[in-house]
Amino acid sequence: MSGGMASSFLMAPGGSLTGRLRVPGDKSISHRAIMLGALAEGQTRVSGFLEGEDSLATLAAFRAMGVRIEGPEGGNLLIEGLGLRGLKAPAGPLDLGNSGTSMRLLCGLLAGQGFAVTLVGDASLTRRPMRRVTAPLALMGARIATSPAGTAPLRIQAGARLQGIDYALPVASAQVKSSVLLAGLFAQGHTCVTEPAPTRDHTERMLAGFGYVVQRQGATVCLEGGGRLVGRALEVPADISSAAFVLVGASIAPGSDLTLEHVGMNPTRVGVINILRAMGADIQVLNPRDAGGEPVADLRVRAAPLRGIRIPEDQVPLAIDEFPALFIAAACAEGETLLTGAEELRVKESDRIQVMADGLAALGIANEPRPDGIRIQGGRPHAGRIDSQGDHRVAMAFAMAAPRASGPIEIRDCANVRTSFPGFTRLAGAAGLAIEEVES
Q: Which entry of 54, 321, 387, 413 is annotated as an active-site residue?
A: 321
Q: Note whether 272 and 244 are within 8 A (CB).
A: yes
Burial per residue of 96-134, b for 16 or more beta-carbon CB atoms within 10 angstroms, e otherwise: bbbbbbbbbbbbbbbbbbeeebebbbbebbebbebebbb
Helix (H, G, I), strand (E, B) or coil at 279: coil
Cα–Cα distance, 383 to 97 (Å, whole number): 33
Q: What type of residue is 64? A: A
The closest of 170, 210, 164 to 29, measured between CA atoms, is 210
321 assigned to active site: yes
Cα–Cα distance, 146 to 137 (Å, whole number): 13
Dihedral sign computed on CA atoms, order 320, 2, 261, 246? positive
Q: How far is CA 176 from CA 59, 225, 242, 292, in A?
A: 20, 18, 22, 24
Give the N- to C-terminal CA distance of the chain in Å, as an integer: 14
Cα–Cα distance, 239 to 348 (Å, whole number): 18
- Give the active site residues: 321
